[in-house]
Every structure is written in structure tokens, then in C-alpha cells.
Structure 1
Amino acid sequence: MDFSRLQASSKIGDDWVYPQPPCLNFGWLEVDIDPAHRIYWEEYGNPAGEPVMFLHGGPGGACAPAMARFFDPKRYRVILFDQRGCGKSEPNVASAGPAVALAKNTTADLIGDIEKLRDHLEIGGRMHIFGGSWGSTLAMAYGIAHPGHCASLVLRGIFLGAAEDLAYLYQGNAATWERDPFAMTAPGAYIKYPDEWRALLEILTPDERRDVMASYKAIFDMVPATAAEKEKQLAAALAWSLWEGQISNMIPEETDTGKFGEADFALCFAQIEAHYFANQLFLPAGHFFGHIGTLASIPVHIVHGRFDEVCPLTQASRLVAALRDAGREPATFVMTNAGHSAMERENALALTAIMDGLPALAA
């Protein structure tokens, strides 16, 4: 049976509001030394328009030209950039290895990079910060650090990164999976994606499944001494990457796994995610709720898929409740009938509608 039309029905496809704009400019910006880090950036839209800083997901993802299609190219000046260690930024994990690419790679470093890129591109006033998944996390962290630079925070698929959020995604019933793979012994994304969950767990021994994230991190930290060890590390990176990539869509893509099934992307994505998750995102516990007053001072727009299994809706609900307790309703809170991916039709159209409806920035 051909289910391709069913899968395609959840994607934005040809329903984008705006066509793909051309890239106006691009380059690499040196943001650190010893080791040197250069971040790759691209610019789209109106060079004199309202600036939008686009923060991709992961951590460890990368930008693609299609990400500029959420924005009216006549109104906005859109900046896409690859965060440290990934995409076209240098060094990246795939080419230089984690020892180099993960050095000086923390949330504070990424916030600093945004400031350096902002200065390099001569953005003097406020800008819109647009981020989904990990991009929403980084956007909020940036907003807390530099609220005066933020005209708005436009967030999709809120990721707070608490222990319970990570356990839902990566631990689930893993400890008991060997004896009963279909037992719902704990909440988790595995319940809706059992085949994809199997592929993630089969990399590990039953004992290693007691702590899935720590076991994967140990594989990623290994310095391969043999071809077999290198092959094991790549297989683990692909399994990690495909798990998140496939379950990001309400209807998983079975035939075309896209970038998540590419070796170089998987090595960057998996190893950077594991690095950040093992270090509690390099943020103090309760960081966002401890600074909720600062976030409440910025217009916050939220789009979250009701069927998001990567970042369940409870994360957006917790953030919205905290904003309300701080005396500020979110400027927008849209729950779409979609999953996690920004490229699902309802998410993409809701994000574009928010950007179209933002009040114009004063010149």
C-alpha cells in the first residue's frame, strides 16, 4: 500500500504563504579563539527590514534556506546561522570531532555569538527572536540575558529541558523493555512510536538501557580505536538522530529520513545534544521560571503542536502558567493540531500568521 499521500498531508508542501527568497549575503564570523570557532550565517528578505534572528533546533541542528519562508520578504530582514559545532560552522563535530567542536560550546557561548553576529551585521535596535524546540530554549535564554534587544520572542515547540522532559523523550520504559517492550511502565514518546523506539534501544544492552542518555553519551565520548568502534559510534549517532527526526512528524516519514539519516548531520546533532543534555543545558535549574518577570516584559508568542511528542504540550502549558502568574498573558498561544516539526502545515502557517500580525517596529 502507498501511504505517501497520508504522510505528505501533514507537511506544509506547496502551502507556504511566501516563496523561497534568494540568499542576499552569507559569510563566516569568527566568534572565539583557542579553539577558533567561526559561525556560518545567511541573510534573506529586505536588507532594510525589521531584523529577525532565527535560532535553529537541536542543539546540534542547522539552518536551511526554507527556514526563511516563514517571513514576509518585503518586511523582514531574516538572519539564519548555524550554531557552534554544527552545520557549516567551523569546526563542526563531524569534521573535527567532539573534543574540538564541543570545546567552548555552552549556552552562554551561543548567547555571546548572537550578540557578536548582531554587531557584525550592524543591527542596532531591537530584533525579533524566532526559535523552535531547542531554538525556543536559546531564545528565552537570550531574552533573559538581553531583554532590551528583543522586540518579540516567537517560539515553537517549547523545550524547557527539565529532567522529566528528557526522561519522557529518552527513558520511557527502556529499563523494562527487554522483557516487555509494550508495557507502559512510565510516560514517554515510545507509546506512540514503538518501532522507532525499538531502533533507538537496540543499539544498547539491557543494562545500558537503565540510563539511555548516559549510555549513548558514553558511546559518543569514546575515541574510536578500530573501524568497528567507529562504525558503532556512527550507528549510535544515526539511531539517536533518526529517533528525534522521525517522531518530530505526527505521521513519521518512513522512506525519506532527510538530514536526520545523513552521517555528518547525525554525528553533529547527536553528539551536541548529548553534550548539552548531560550538562543540564548549561543553565541553572529553574532558570526560566526564576527570571519569568524578565520574559514577561517581552511579548511572547507561542505555537505548540497538540500532538508534539518531542516536546509535549505540558512544557508550553508550564511556561504559559508562569507568565500568567507573573501578570502577563502570552501575546499569542496557539495549540495546533500538529506534531513537533516546524514544517508541519499547521505549525508553519501559524508561525507565518504571527509574523504577519506583529506590530511594526518603530524606525
Structure 2
Amino acid sequence: MLGLYPEIEPYDHGMLPVGDGNVIYWEECGNPAGKPVVFLHGGPGSGASIRHRRLFDPERYRIVLFDQRGCGRSTPHCSTPEADLTVNTTWHLVADMERLREDRAIETWQLFGGSWGSVLALTYAEAYPHRVSELVLRGVATLRVKELQWLFGGGAGCLFPEAWSRFLAPVPYARRGENLIEVYHELLHHPDPDLHRPAAVAWSRWEGETVKFTPQEEVVAAFTEPEFALAIARIENHYFRHGGWLADDQLIREAGKLTGVPCVLVQGRYDAVTPATTAWELAQVLPGAELKMIGDAGHAFDEPGTLHELISATDRFAAG
């Protein structure tokens, strides 16, 4: 069973101004002469981590990681009042990726994205297919209404009723039958910290409690750290209430643009965050896609079967 590569440190890093007052953090690891790959983190709003560097053979890959607008080490951080979410959309992030690619003098790169990162990877790839060498996607999502309703409309709550009750706790009882993404938008942007901070922690905790096949306290603790929770909750809610600024079936309908781009989809069958139906439906229309359905996995990238298939894909594509 394949696992993470050893820990590595960046050989270069920096801050790239991308417009609208935003500056994104980027770093490069591995082999400067290797095959370029860009890691697209989830959330949106979670940020890249040192473990994400270890998904690629450092001898063969030039590994690019960056924190998307408003999160991680990028500025301004969305836990601060000066962060303007009106200039933080899917299409801003696609433009940021192009600016980063040009800044790092990369002709084509492999896109590796999980969860929200799979949405961003597909959006970028369909806009710039000639810049993409391969796609490796995990926990596949396309931000369709049915996907968002599953996670925030009670579907996943049927599997995790205790966690769902904690997600509902900040919502006034009389409003629990409304669109909870919209209700949470009001809570997360209320000027009173005694309202927006508990709402942020409840929103983020819901993800932390559903992301693993078996919930783990250390994961929940990371998701409920107040500054992280406020940033990820505000960014995710902003993106989800706008459907990612995508037509409901856009990423699946336009998958034909990716003809000739090798793609591996790695999906946990019991993924409660991004249900397996999306990966399966995308595989039916994505030319040449390989779907790896992991029978004993949930959403997280580091569950053994999922990690094995991800590393297998990056190892195989390293030679291309």
C-alpha cells in the first residue's frame, strides 16, 4: 500500500499580488527541473499544508502549492474585517492560477485537487485545457444544487444526526426549515462576534465531523480553531450560496473540452461530503477518465485506499 513521501521543505516561496488588494502565498518543493504539478486545496478556504507536499515524488516533480485568496498565508485573511469577498470568486481563483503559472514560467502543469480543489481544477481545466497535462481529482464535486442540498439540506445529517444537531444549534428554531446556507450567511456576517464566531465554529465543525470515514477528535479540533473556522465558514458559505458562479451542470456539460487530458478520479464510496454519484456521473462524460472507487473510504485524502490510488496516479504520470 503506497503512502506519503518523506517530509520536504520548499526550495522557493513568495507572495504574489493578484489584484483587488489580494496577495497569495506560493511555494515550490521537490525538483526544480521536474514535472510541474499544482496542488489545489479544499474548502474553499482551508489552505495548503506541509502534508500536501508529500503527495508527489520529490525527485520527479516540481511541486507548486499556494493558498487561495482569503485563507492560509494569503492576505487579507477572511477572518479579518478588511477582507472583501466580492472579489473572491471561482473565476478570480482561475485568474490567480494563470497569473501564478505565468509568474513561475510554467508551460503546462498537472492539476491535483480534492473536494473544492476538484471544482477549481475542473473549472480551470475547462477554461485552459491546453495548459493542463493531467488531472488527478479526489472527493469529486461540481457544486450542483443537489450536492449542496445533500450536505446542507439534511441528507448527510441522516448519517450524522449528532453532528447535524450541532450544526443546527446556532440557527433559530423557527428558521431551520429555510435555506440554511442563506441563514448562515446572515449569522456569519452579523457584526456581533457573539453571533458570528459560534456560527463559524458550528459550520466548520460540521465539515470536521463528516470529512473522515471515522470521525477523529484531532481533525474536529483543527476545524474548530476560531480563526480558521471564521475564514473557511465565510469563504465556503460565500461560494456555496452563489453555486460557485457556475451553471448548475456546467462542469459536467463541458467535460468534453478535456478530450485528450488524462484524468484519474479517486472517490470514497462512503464520502458523506461529496457523494460518490458526482464522480460516477463525471466519469461517464469525461473522455478517458479512470474512476477509482474506494470501497472502505470517506472523504479525506489520507485514508489508506484513497491515498494509495492518489500516489499511484501521480507516480504513473510523473514520467509523462
Identical-pair percentage: 38
Deviation at 1:127, TM superposition (A): 0.8
User: Match of 1:95, as an amino acid?
Assistant: T
Deviates more, 1:289-298 or 1:268-277: 289-298
Q: How far apart are residue 103 of structure 1 and its match?
A: 2.9
Give yes or no for the alignment of 1:347 onto 2:306: yes
Q: 1:39-98, CA deviations, whole angstroms, 9 ceiling, x for partnerless residues?
A: 00111111110000110011111000110111000000111101011111011111345x
Alignment equivalent of 1:334, drawn from 284, 292, 296 = 292
CA–CA distance in 1 between the matches of 2:218 and 2:77? 28
Q: Identify which of 69, 79, 85 aligns with 1:94.
A: 79
Alignment match, 2:161: 194
Q: TM-score, normalised by structure 2?
A: 0.95
Counterpart code for 2:157: Y
2:63 pairs with one of 65, 72, 78: 78
Counterparts of 1:122 and 1:255 in 2: how far apart (Å)? 39
Distance 2:201 2:237 in 1: 13
Q: Any conservation in 1 of the 2:142–2:252 contact (CA below 8 Å)?
A: no
Q: Secondary structure at the match of 1:207?
A: helix
- Give the aligned residue type for 1:220: L
Q: Distance in 1 between matches of 2:3 and 2:84?
A: 35
Match of 2:11 among 24, 29, 44: 24
Runs of 4+ in 1 over 2 A off after TM superposition: 254-259
Unaligned runs of 5+ in 1: 1-11, 173-187
Judge conservation of contact 2:143–2:248 (CA < 8 Å) in 1.
Answer: no
Residue pair 1:84, 1:101 contacting (<8 A) in 2 also: no
Deviation of the 1:255 alpha carbon: 5.3
Does the 8 Å contact 2:35/2:318 carry over to 1?
Answer: no
Q: How many residues align?
A: 318
Note the 1:95-174 alignment, pairs <5 A.
95-97=80-82, 100-123=83-106, 125-172=107-154
Residue in 1 aligned with 2:46? Answer: 61
TM-superposition CA deviations, 1:190-249 (whole Å, max 9, x none): 122111111001111222211211110111222x1xxxx212211000110010122000
Give the Cα separation in 2 of the matches to 1:46 and 1:299: 22
Structure 2 residue 227 is matched with structure 1 residue 264: yes
Which residue identity is paired with 1:309? A
Could you tell me which amino acid in structure 1 is paired with residue 89 of structure 2? T
Structure 1: distance between partners of 2:42 and 2:31: 24
Distance 1:81 1:255, change over 3 A: closer
Alpha-carbon contact 1:92-1:101 (below 8 Å) kept:
no
Larger Rg: 1 or 2? Answer: 1
**Compared with structure 1, are the counterparts of its residues 90 and 279 closer, same or farther at alpha carbon in structure 2 (3 Å cutoff)?**
same
* 1:270 alignment partner AA: A
Separation of aligned partners in 1, 2:219 and 2:56 = 26
Following the alignment from structure 2 to structure 1, what is the Cα–Cα distance between the partners of residues 112 and 121? 7
CA-atom RMSD in angstroms: 1.5
Taking structure 1 as the reference length, the TM-score comes to 0.84
Partner Cα distance (2:247, 2:4) in 1: 39
Distance 1:122 1:318 in 2: 35
* Matching residue of 2:282: 319
Q: Distance in 2 between matches of 1:235 and 1:344?
A: 30
Preserved contact between residue 152 and residue 181 of structure 2 (Cα < 8 Å) = yes
More deviation, 190-199/300-309:
190-199
Q: Which residue in the other structure is 1:185 paired with?
A: none
Amino acid at match of 2:30: G
Deviation at 1:128, TM superposition (A): 0.3
Distance 1:296 1:303 in 2: 19
Counterparts of residues 173-322 of structure 1 (less than 5 Å): 188-210=155-177, 211-222=179-190, 224=191, 229-254=192-217, 257-322=220-285
Structure 1 residue 115 displacement after superposition: 0.7
Correspondences of 1:14-53 after superposition (within 5 Å): 16-33=3-20, 36-53=21-38
Taking the aligned partners of 1:44 and 1:277, their CA distance within structure 2 comes to 32
